[in-house]
Structure 1
Amino acid sequence: MVSQGPTVETNKVQADYGAAQIQVLEGLEPVRKRPGMYIGSTGPRGLHHLVYEVVDNAVDEALAGHCTEIQVHLHGDGSAEVRDNGRGIPTDLHPRTGKSALETVLTVLHAGGKFGGGGYKVSGGLHGVGVSVVNALSAWVEVVVYRQDQEHRQRFEKGVAQGPLQSRVLGKDDPHWGRRGTTVRFCPDRDIFTGGIGFDFPTLAVRLRELAYLNGGVNILFSDGRPEALDEAGNPHRETYFYEGGIKEYVAYMTQDKDPLHRDIIFVQGEKDGVQVEAALQWCADAYSDSMLGFANNIRTVDGGTHLEGFKAVLTRTLNTLARKRNKRKEADSNLSGENIREGLTAVLSVKVPEPEFEGQTKTKLGNMEVRGVVDSVVGESLTEFLEFNVQAVDLILEKAIQAFNAAE
């Protein structure tokens, strides 16, 4: 009798497996049961991931060319608010769920505009689980959308909508008339984040600054209105991150206290097979190791990946070719190694991939094989062109590499 149990159960599950089951699987209950699967941990890292997940949605709007400003504010009650001036989350009825698109995005896993390719060409966000996970793990969430001269509001508690979407038409005399965008304010659930729900300003500042560098031209305003952060007049602490020069400015920031070998930061940019590639490079005379940051869809790829492999390969090949062309290496001389060439290099490589494949436990390694070749060809062409026009720079870079080679012999 006992041995039959699983078989009977299995048959029952198969028989019951219909649309209702799918809906259950898509609900937010699994997120509350196993939050670590969705945000990595319920400690500080997972807590801050909630903010990143909402900010990533705003950055996606910016990448698609619809948003120029993102405001992030920490409130005194422990909640965080992210506001953008993008198109606003759609509010019309979703054909499959029968609810507004906004409620669907907030209550159904994987229901965002990132899946299926119709909404965004490329999108950031580590897991792509989006704002529904933030909703599931928050005591409450309030969303306000301004779109086509209407204001839409909805409140959720522990992932559950507290009543339907409230909408009103804005008159021309309304202070919000003409406004557009999405505001998401949420308070993390203490039942989930048992270690506390206090956000760390410096931790968030590092990531927001990084996003501003990676998406040049997007203005990110970060403010802290918690009691301990207020000045004597009671004003919040504010910081602004806006870098017109994008990753070129990032490299300048990283090398500001160093002695550059060449005056202009080398910048290459291109697109091939739908993959966008940007790289900024600066060799410094007083640095003896390399500092290379790789990003894929705004995610810092701490464990490297195919984009960085392609980048290292093309650097080694290009500079060895130029070394022979400029008679810095004779026929009989062996090639300079990648380590020799990268000595003293600070570089930022950013790729935007339509269908990223992240590998490893923490999803911080890019796995797309095609990206290696794309980076190789885009960087190879531009780098060769730049260095052939800047012979003084290439000679200094090669001399430093040859010194490193000789020292290693």
Structure 2
Amino acid sequence: MSQETTVTPSAEASYRASAIQVLEGLEAVRKRPAMYIGDIGLRGLHHLIFEVVDNSIDEAMAGYCTEIEVTLHADGSVTVKDNGRGIPVDTHPTEGRSALEVVMTVLHAGGKFDRTTYKVSGGLHGVGVSCVNALSEWLEARVYREGQIWYQSYKKGEPQCPVGPIGPTRERGTEIRFKPDPTIFPDTEFQFDWVANRLRELAYLNPTVKITLRDERELDEAGRPLTRVFYSKGGLREFVKYLNHGKETLHEPILIQGTDPEGLYQVEVALQYNDTFNETLYSYVNNIRTHEGGTHVVGFRKALTRVFKSYGD
């Protein structure tokens, strides 16, 4: 039996055009942060670092970056610095302001929407660094480009000064320092091991990049910060050896590489069997871990099964 729903005049009167909210700029990110970074717990907190690092990795994959430095500061902030090309600072043709400010304050602004600036990229494609800015108590951007250090600071995503040069430099790259907003995140303390594990992965996935992690919260007797350097010449082969450390392996790591006929997609697989019954599988797309697998994992499993079956027959 169907029931009719009646709307009282008072209910209609209370739902008018004035009830429709339009969130401007980065306000939507601060209003619903979990929609952009997954959650506001420790996973979301550390995701802020990884979003900035992913931009540096994209520069490395494009062939412009060889070193990335991540520093955990005693005041709870973190710095990510690379030696890539540096975010452009000239005036954006349609926005009428520095491209640096556009990238830092406008959602879906970046150089990853075509195949010219970046052929391969990870992260949130123009959302990542602006989300980090929105969810930070404060953020400072320094760009080393064209012989100058270009600077702009922000508070909760809002620019506090125009983009401008603050001194000469011979360096090249981008440096982002930010402090997570405690009004957004209940816990703002970064965990060294959490960060180190991700940076170690990236070093194996990108064997041309040297990644340095420093923790100024933990000093040795000489006052030097705890430091770890991640660099891999062997790439996935070394990654598989690392994952199998302490286990009895049956052979040396097998590396399989392939590219599609048009040269758009590259696939790389490394595997090594050991004497245990448990499977350890890590899968990635553009350096981003695919925890739930995907067609790339399904395709590999089918191909591997087919090869063993053909060999057995």
TM beyond 0.5: yes
Counterpart of 1:306 (choices 288, 295, 313) is 295
- Other-structure match for 1:224: 215
Cα displacement (A) at 1:62: 0.3
- Map 1:223-242 onto structure 2 (within 5 A): 223-226=214-217, 229-242=218-231
The whole-number CA distance in structure 1 between the counterparts of 2:88 and 2:30 is 26
- Other-structure match for 1:271: 259
Q: Which runs of 5 or more residues in structure 2 are unaligned?
A: 1-8
Q: Is the 8 A contact 2:151 2:166 kept in 1?
A: no
The whole-number CA distance in structure 2 between the counterparts of 1:128 and 1:169 is 28
**Partner AA of 2:189 in structure 1:** G
The whole-number CA distance in structure 1 between the counterparts of 2:298 and 2:60 is 28
The whole-number CA distance in structure 2 between the counterparts of 1:126 and 1:95 is 23
The whole-number CA distance in structure 1 between the counterparts of 2:138 and 2:246 is 45
What TM-score, normalized by structure 2, do the two folds share? 0.91
The whole-number CA distance in structure 1 between the counterparts of 2:282 and 2:126 is 22
Counterpart of 2:17 (choices 6, 9, 16) is 9
Cα displacement (A) at 1:294: 1.0
Alpha-carbon displacement from aligned partner over 1:223-280 (angstroms, at most 9, x marks no partner): 0001xx1111111000000001111100011123222222x31101121152211111
- Other-structure match for 2:131: 133
Counterpart of 2:181 (choices 184, 189, 207) is 189
Cα displacement (A) at 1:4: 6.3
- Map 1:334-349 onto structure 2 (within 5 A): none
Task: Point out the more displaced range, 123-132 or 153-162.
Answer: 123-132
SS in 2 for 1:225: strand
- Specify whether residues 48 and 205 from structure 1 end up closer, same or farther in structure 2 by C-alpha distance, changes over 3 A only: same
The whole-number CA distance in structure 2 between the counterparts of 1:271 and 1:86 is 26
Q: Is the 8 A contact 1:74 1:225 kept in 2?
A: yes
The whole-number CA distance in structure 1 between the counterparts of 2:172 and 2:164 is 16
- Other-structure match for 1:257: 246
The whole-number CA distance in structure 2 between the counterparts of 1:149 and 1:100 is 17
SS in 2 for 1:234: coil
- Specify whether residues 302 and 109 from structure 1 end up closer, same or farther in structure 2 by C-alpha distance, changes over 3 A only: same
Q: Is the 8 A contact 2:103 2:126 kept in 1?
A: no
- Specify whether residues 290 and 245 from structure 1 end up closer, same or farther in structure 2 by C-alpha distance, changes over 3 A only: same
- Other-structure match for 2:270: 280
**Partner AA of 1:294 in structure 2:** S
SS in 1 for 2:100: helix
Cα displacement (A) at 1:5: 5.0
**Partner AA of 1:213 in structure 2:** Y
- Other-structure match for 1:167: 165
Q: Is the 8 A contact 2:112 2:125 kept in 1?
A: no
- Other-structure match for 2:101: 103
- Specify whether residues 2 and 67 from structure 1 end up closer, same or farther in structure 2 by C-alpha distance, changes over 3 A only: same
Cα displacement (A) at 1:196: 2.4
SS in 2 for 1:283: coil
User: Which aligned segments of 4 or more residues in structure 1 are displaced greater than 4 angstroms?
Assistant: 1-8
The whole-number CA distance in structure 1 between the counterparts of 2:11 and 2:138 is 45
- Other-structure match for 1:339: none
The whole-number CA distance in structure 1 between the counterparts of 2:296 and 2:160 is 45
The whole-number CA distance in structure 1 between the counterparts of 2:228 and 2:17 is 57
- Other-structure match for 2:79: 81
**Partner AA of 2:268 in structure 1:** E
SS in 2 for 1:318: helix
Alpha-carbon displacement from aligned partner over 1:372-399 (angstroms, at most 9, x marks no partner): xxxxxxxxxxxxxxxxxxxxxxxxxxxx
SS in 2 for 1:103: helix
- Specify whether residues 205 and 9 from structure 1 end up closer, same or farther in structure 2 by C-alpha distance, changes over 3 A only: same
The whole-number CA distance in structure 1 between the counterparts of 2:172 and 2:69 is 14
Residues 1:296 and 2:285 aligned together:
yes
- Specify whether residues 308 and 26 from structure 1 end up closer, same or farther in structure 2 by C-alpha distance, changes over 3 A only: farther
The whole-number CA distance in structure 2 between the counterparts of 1:137 and 1:79 is 13
Q: Is the 8 A contact 1:213 1:243 kept in 2?
A: yes
- Other-structure match for 1:38: 36
The whole-number CA distance in structure 1 between the counterparts of 2:70 and 2:167 is 26
- Specify whether residues 118 and 25 from structure 1 end up closer, same or farther in structure 2 by C-alpha distance, changes over 3 A only: farther
Q: Highest CA radius of gyration, 1 or 2?
A: 1
Counterpart of 1:214 (choices 194, 200, 205) is 205
**Partner AA of 2:253 in structure 1:** I
- Other-structure match for 1:365: none
Alpha-carbon displacement from aligned partner over 1:338-363 (angstroms, at most 9, x marks no partner): xxxxxxxxxxxxxxxxxxxxxxxxxx
Query: CA-atom RMSD, angstroms?
Result: 2.1
The whole-number CA distance in structure 1 between the counterparts of 2:106 and 2:113 is 13
Cα displacement (A) at 1:163: 1.4
The whole-number CA distance in structure 2 between the counterparts of 1:216 and 1:95 is 36
Q: Which has the higher helix share?
A: 1
What TM-score, normalized by structure 1, do the two folds share? 0.70
